[in-house]
């Protein structure tokens, strides 16, 4: 938990950028392809088909061309694609973040890399350190397993690391290639829903306690993990690779549990919802956004930024909330923002920022 007195130097969000792969998946085209793939093998596909229209998504970006997903790729093929494209996105996102902050790679003291959609040892940042000009002594903090909460938790971790070493610069890069979990041969409801919802993308931020211009200051961070919720979201591992697990009860869970957990985080820091000027929620899906609007009694339009990101990119898992935060900071100049995302655990990750 980060709780820096107002008299101390708060960690600064010096840069926040996004990146996506080159391959575009239009939702209408994905719906047609899914029907061709599944209608003859799934008796209930007709009942599931409306998910493509109801997801609130126009397009997504993918690690591989569309026809790659119509083949039964094995685990090695999937993971090779993960490593290749993740390295490309790391280089792009890191370069954009450094340029925005006016820093060189050699000025970065710590790199936090967050990703849960593939396996890489050496990790992604290790494969890029020397080619991009980072120091031999840069510290590496790879983080795996946070899922959709990874963006909020990643920037929070970067803030704590920067606060622990005054004057330091921390680069956090969040990369998820969710589409690689699509399994051509699997005829489960989860696989179909995932094909309608998930996209690929990356985001990067530079958090610093060194002097410089900033988009915002970090104020507080925290998490809440509920007991007996391990089966709500995560990965299933089989001979074909990683397969998505997400429970249909997530919107109901949000309605039942999210309000109290959020109030608890705020109250721990002597804050209330009335002290929040802007929101940046992870848009896990249209029904999750509906649930958030209901439980927090939000007026129509308050979550338009979240819906806009979902419409333009789909659910990219961890980096998605960073896409939302970037848009929110660009729209609202001044005030306190509450950032929150839900991920496997089942865990809510929180941060407040002031800009």
235 and 170, same structural domain?
no
Tell whether 98 is covered by a domain.
yes
246 and 103, same structural domain?
no
123 and 153, same structural domain?
yes
Tell whether 115 is covered by a domain.
yes
- The residue whose two tokens read 């973040």 is 97
184 and 62, same structural domain?
yes
CATH number for the domain that contains residue 92: 3.40.47.10
Tell whether 6 is covered by a domain.
no
pTM: 0.94
223 and 192, same structural domain?
no
Tell whether 5 is covered by a domain.
no
E-assigned strands of the chain? Answer: 2-3, 12-19, 23-26, 59-62, 110-114, 139-143, 169-177, 200-208, 216-225, 233-238, 241-246, 278-281, 336-343, 347-354
29 and 73, same structural domain?
yes
Q: Among residues 31, 19, 92, which one has the least CA distance to residue 66?
A: 31
Q: Which residues of the chain have pLDDT under 50?
A: 1-7
147 and 19, same structural domain?
yes
292 and 181, same structural domain?
no
244 and 202, same structural domain?
no
Tell whether 7 is covered by a domain.
no
Q: Which of 162, 186, 208 is the last residue of a domain?
A: 208
247 and 111, same structural domain?
no
Q: Which of 146, 180, 208 is the last residue of a domain?
A: 208
350 and 238, same structural domain?
yes
Instruction: Please tell me the predicted confidence (pLDDT) of residue 6.
Output: 46
Instruction: Please tell me the predicted confidence (pLDDT) of residue 8.
Output: 56
Tell whether 273 is covered by a domain.
yes
Instruction: Please tell me the predicted confidence (pLDDT) of residue 333.
Output: 67
| Helices and strands in the chain: count of H runs, count of E runs | 12, 14
Domain that holds residue 348: 216-354
Instruction: Please tell me the predicted confidence (pLDDT) of residue 345.
Output: 86
307 and 179, same structural domain?
no
Q: What backbone phi and psi angles, to 5 degrees, belong to 164?
A: -70, -20
Instruction: Please tell me the predicted confidence (pLDDT) of residue 4.
Output: 46
Tell whether 297 is covered by a domain.
yes
Query: Total domain count for the chain?
Result: 2
Q: Which of 150, 179, 208 is the last residue of a domain?
A: 208
Instruction: Please tell me the predicted confidence (pLDDT) of residue 25.
Output: 96
């Amino acid at each position: 938990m980060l709780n820096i007195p107002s008299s101390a130097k708060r960690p600064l969000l010096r840069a926040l950028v996004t990146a996506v792969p080159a391959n575009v998946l239009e939702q209408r085209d994905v719906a047609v392809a899914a029907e061709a793939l599944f209608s003859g093998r799934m008796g209930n596909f007709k009942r599931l088909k409306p998910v493509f229209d109801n997801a609130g998504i126009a397009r997504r970006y993918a690690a591989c061309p569309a026809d790659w997903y119509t083949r039964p790729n094995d685990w090695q093929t999937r993971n090779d694609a993960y490593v290749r494209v993740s390295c490309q996105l790391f280089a792009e996102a890191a370069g954009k973040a450094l340029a925005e902050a006016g820093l060189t790679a050699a000025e970065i003291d710590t790199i936090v890399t967050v990703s849960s959609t593939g396996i890489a040892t050496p990790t992604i940042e290790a494969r890029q350190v020397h080619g991009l000009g980072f120091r031999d002594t840069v510290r590496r903090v790879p983080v795996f397993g946070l899922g959709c909460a990874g963006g909020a938790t990643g920037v929070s971790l970067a803030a704590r690391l920067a606060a622990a070493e005054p004057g330091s610069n921390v680069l956090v890069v969040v990369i998820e290639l969710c589409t690689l979990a699509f399994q051509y041969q699997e005829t489960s409801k989860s696989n179909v829903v995932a094909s309608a919802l998930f996209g690929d993308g990356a985001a990067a931020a530079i958090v610093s306690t060194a002097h410089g211009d900033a988009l915002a200051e970090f104020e507080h961070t925290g998490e809440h993990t509920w007991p007996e919720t391990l089966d709500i979201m995560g990965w299933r591992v089989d001979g074909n690779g990683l397969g998505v697990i997400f429970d249909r009860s997530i919107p109901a869970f949000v309605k039942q549990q999210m309000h109290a957990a959020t109030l608890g985080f705020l109250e721990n820091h002597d804050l209330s919802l009335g002290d929040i000027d802007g929101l940046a929620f992870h848009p896990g899906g249209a029904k999750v956004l509906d649930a958030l609007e209901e439980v927090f009694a939000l007026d129509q339009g308050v979550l338009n930024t979240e819906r806009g990101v979902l419409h333009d990119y789909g659910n990219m898992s961890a980096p998605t909330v960073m896409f939302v935060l970037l848009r929110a900071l660009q729209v609202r100049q001044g005030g306190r923002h509450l950032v929150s995302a839900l991920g496997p655990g089942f865990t809510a990750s929180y941060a407040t920022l002031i800009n």
